[in-house]
Every structure is written in structure tokens, then in C-alpha cells.
Structure 1
Amino acid sequence: MKTIAILGSTGSIGTQTLDIAAHHPERFRVAALAAGSNVELLVEQAHRFRPEIVSVATKAHAERLAALVPAGTRVLYGDEGVRAVAAENDADVVVSAMVGSAGCEPTLAAIDAGKAIALANKETLVAAGRIVTERARLRGVPLIPVDSEHSAIFQSLNGSRIDDVLALTLTASGGSFRDRGRHELANVTVADALKHPNWSMGAKVTIDSATMANKGLEVIEAHWLFGVDYDRIRVLVHPESIIHSYVEFLDKSVIAQLGVPDMRVPIQYALTFPERPSSPADSLDLAALGKLTFRPMDFERYPMMRLAYEAGRAGGTATAVFNAANEVAVSRFLSGAVPFLAIESIVESTLAKHDVVGAADLGAIREADAWARDFAAKL
């Protein structure tokens, strides 16, 4: 039996991870759960899965939680609580599913504790990819991707040498506005942007999908996960989200991973690799689909893609700044403070003003992140 801890248990990835644990009670035991402010859902999870540790964002939430969880469950909060869930328990694998760059340091703590990482928090590698991958290598800790695109590449590479790879291609759904031109985006609402046609995701990831920032973050993540330079990482718009990504090899063979759009498949694979037990997902019926369609990535239509590649090639603190400015811009859009297209301009302006620090340590990354948030909030 494998013991798991989840950073972000009440979010989309966290709840689907627990669906898998419930589907395979003979395979998984839940040791620890960390959430933000959704006390009600965390209470339900605590009663169903009986973890030893639960953590929430604030002391007030923890005081409320303590009266509601099963007897014997340890209730923590804040940075100390997240660290305990990440590292101070007997979990074999930590599912890193916190939203944003807040997931970086607890993921590093889990690596230092020797835990295998099922990585759903792409911002961890975007902000500190060199540090995280080096730390994992030194500790002998596997980083297994949970994102459907990176899981597809991980699966497609299985048994192959990275030296034999010609290119990695990430597929993109195109997001909520994939059938609209830029001239139609000036007055779109938050409700419009949150209507993703294929996937059920949290608000921040759904907005990132609409701007294509999410795919830009995934390009940077793929660079660090697979050690492939940016010139060999491509993006293709695939509205049906059936081919989750693919690898082209030097001999021009192409290996892809296909499946219905259901995040439980890549989550389960990250937890059970290299085994493939039964899944609660539906089977893929290509005959019923009839056809699959593709479009080239349009960097003018989606400027966030261009900015992500530029930040990735600049390296150092540039990717942390890209991510931090985007988090602020998306938050401002969701609150109604700025229009949708301002997300792109805020990120571009922040990157333009940043003096990149190369081969940055965690301190420099934290400083760049804080600077970017402050600068982006004032634009």
C-alpha cells in the first residue's frame, strides 16, 4: 500500500486525487492533507480518509477546523502546517497541487525529506526549475508529472532515450475563447472566461488556459522536466483534447498518448507508475469522435505564448517574474479590477522592466517574485 500526502486537497487536482484513493482503497492510504480556506470540504475529506495531519491557511480556520475533524487528527495552519503535510509524516509520495508559486518551498521540503513527487504545481518548476530538478537529482527523488500534457510526454518517452528526441509537442485546447479573434476579447467577462469547453479546472488555471499563459508555463516546465531546449518544444492547438501531447524522435517516429479529457488518468499514473490499474475514467471511442482537428499556434493571437518562450530563453529570474506577474494580473481580472486583455499587457510590462538575475538562488528568486508582484499590482 502506498501512503500519500496532498498539498492542495480541496482544489481540482486534490479532489480528483482523493477520488482515485477512494477507487483503490487497497492501494492508497491518505496520511496528510493541506488546504487553503475551504474548511467544509476539508472536514468531509478528513472524516472520509482519516489523515493524521490536516492543515489550513490561517489560525482562525484551524481553530474552526479543530472542533470538526475526527479525534486524533492533528490540525495545523500556515507555513508550518504546509511543511508538516509535505515532509513531516510517513507519506511515500506527495501530490504537489497548490496553486501558484506558493507550492515551491513545500515541494522542496518534500524532496529534502526523500518523498516522491507527483507534480501538479507547474509554477514550482517555472519559478525554480534549476534548483528543484538539481535537488531532486541529488536526493534521488522522482519528479513524476501530473499535468496531462507532461504525463503524456512522460508516457511517450517511456523506454526511450532523451538523446533520440527531435521535438516535444504540447497540445493546447485553445481555452474558452479559442474561436474568437482578438478584436472580440476587449469586453469579455470573468464568467465568459471561466467556461472552459473541455476541462473542469480551478479559476486561475482556466483563465490561464484562455490567455494561453498555462501553455507557456507548461513549455517552461517541460524544459526542466525533460531537459529539452526551447527550440525543440512546440505547441499545437488541438480543440478536442484527445491527443494530450506527443514526442517526435530523430527517426521521425511519433509516439503520442491519447485519452478522454479526464485528469484522473494522469493523476493515477503518477501515483501508480509503472503500474496501470483500472481507472474510473471513460474509455476512448475514436469511431464515435469521428475526427480530430489541429491548428498551428498563433503567437500574435496569444502573446502570452511569446512572452513565455522569451522568459524561458532569458532564464534566471525571468520565468519567476513571468509567473508572478501573471498571478497578480489574473487575480486582478477575476476581481473585476482590470479587463481580460490587460493580463497580457501587465505581464509584458513587468518583464520589460525586470533586470534578469542568471543562475539565481532561492533568495534571488524570492526577491524577483516579490518585486514582480509589487510592480504588476501598480500597473
Structure 2
Amino acid sequence: MTIVDERTVGSTAAVKTGGGSGLGRYVVVRALLIVPTVFILVTLVFVLMRVVGDPITASMGGRLSEAQLAERLAEAGYDRPILAQYLEYLGQIFTGDFGRTITDNRAISEILVTYGAATLELVFFALIVAFVVGVPLGMLAAYLRDRWPDAALRVFAILCYATPVFFAGLLLKLVFSVWLGWFPLGGRASTDVQLVLGRISGSTGINIVDALRTGRWDLISDILLHAALPAATLGLLTAGVFLRLVRTNLIGTLSMDYVDAARSRGVGEARLVRKHAYKPALIPIITVMGLQIALMLGGAVLTETTFEWRGLGFQLAQYLADRDFVAVQGIVALLAVIVAVTNFVVDVIAALIDPRVRY
């Protein structure tokens, strides 16, 4: 008779179910971290906005009399203690009410719906540029490591990351729009194309999606031409990060035992990079994707302003110029929620791909 130790059975069951419970525990912890992250960001924005004074005086101070200002302050509740204002604002945030702008009395949620699609489209195009430029060049740098092309590519990566977004945008605009005339100066599409897209029933607000629905190549090409320079400006910022990550991780993967075994069997270096080391090197990119999207949303403010791309960043710059701090506070709070949720989704994807992330 075979005697089975109960502890052995228990440990075997734990091993079998450990991966699932580990993933579930990881997802729950990451989901719970969204709340304090958003809370801290919203609190910081609220405090910073109140440091400069109440929003109505900052925005309308030169256009209203003292009596009118006092009336507006009382109506909005800005004459109350700061703690009472803060608690009321938190209650509004948890109910999905991010407030209304002072300059044009629009709901912040309406601004997100109207202009968020444009920013989403720009970030999508920029991510494509970042992958197309950063990943292949990172592979090339790893393949030619410690040679002059590797050094040149590393300098290129540093320049991509260190160059201010607005300067890169102005430079690309000057060269490719003004001097060469290859691309439009700004905007999301030509006026006639925008009119055609506006008449589409069930418009998504994402121009490339609406143009693909029509099947008209003239609309698609016009939108891609308008998106090329803004996407390149924003995408190159992240491409430098991807290049360095891919290079570093490929070099590390190429020194692993299973790669050495393949190399001893006569497999060429290029095939080793392409077949054996490429996919493991992409996992860190997925891990930092959330941070890069946050970086892109920050860079979108300057990029959209430079190219008159009417998205959330463009509107945020306009409200900053108008000193409409309620609008700024609401948009930044919405962006904080978007970044927190995006980081959560990226972390879950990374945990599904690489089980080591869960522990």
C-alpha cells in the first residue's frame, strides 16, 4: 500500500493553484492602488490651484466689479473654508462630476468627450511611431553592440528623450512643412475633409476611424498627412526609451544559456536576435508602457499647441492662458484617472505575459 503524505498533497495543490491565486491577488492589489493614486494626484492639483487664489478672481478679476466678484464667489462656494471646498470637490469627483469651466460654463466631462478622442488618436499614432522606430533600432544596436552604429544609436536615443517636445515640433514643422512643403502646418485634417467627417452618422470623433469607415483613400491620406509630424514629435520622445530598453534587454538575453546553446549549434547572430531573444526583450516595454502613456499625455499639451491639434492638451493650454483653474483642475484630474487606469491595465497584461511580475 502506498502511503501519501497529506502535506505533499497540499503542497502539490498549492503549486497547481499558486499561479492563479498569485495573479488574482496581484490584480486586486493593483486595482486597490488606483484609489490612493488618484486621491493623491487630485489633492495635489486642488492645493496647487488654490495656492494662486480662488479660480473666479484669477479668471474674471479684471472683468467684474468687486460686488459681482463677491456674488460669483458666494454662488460657487469659494468664500467658504478651504477644507469645506476640498471635501465637496472630493464628493463631486467620486460621483463623476469634475465641475464646470468658468470662462464658457462647460462641463469638464463634456470637454473630455469632445476633445478626448483627438488626444487618443494622437497618442495612438505616436505609439506606432515609437514602436516602429524604437524597437527595430534597439534590435540593431544590440546586434551591432560596441560598434560605431551602436554608439550612434545610443546618442540618437538620448537626443530623442532629452529634446524638448515643443522644440522638436517646431523644428520638424520648419523643415518639413515650411521649407520642404511635404506636410500641412497644423490641424487634424483639411477643412473640406473635416466637413465630410462631420456629416458621418455615429461619428466617433477619431478621424482615422471615421475615414476608414467611409473607405475613401483621399480622406485617409489627408488625415495621415496631418498626423505625421505631431505623431513623430510625440513618438520620438518614447522611441528613445524603447530603443534603450530593447538594446539592454536583448544584450542580456543573448548571454543566456539557451541562446549560447543555439549559438553553439551554428545559429547565426541575426537569427538569434530575431527568433530567440526578441520576444523576451519586449516584456520590459510592456511593463513601462503605462509610464510612457503618462509621458505622452504630458507631451500632448505642447505637441497639440504646436500643431493646433485640437485635443485635451490644446484645450488645457487655452484654459491655462485664460487662468480658468477650474477647467485646468478638472482636466488634470481626468487625465490622472486615465493614467491610473492605463497603468493598471498595462500591469495586468505584463503579469499575464510574465508570471514573475506577480510576485
Structure-1-length-normalised TM-score: 0.25
Name whichever structure is richer in strand by fraction.
Answer: 1
Higher helix share: 2
Q: State the structure with more CA Rg.
A: 2
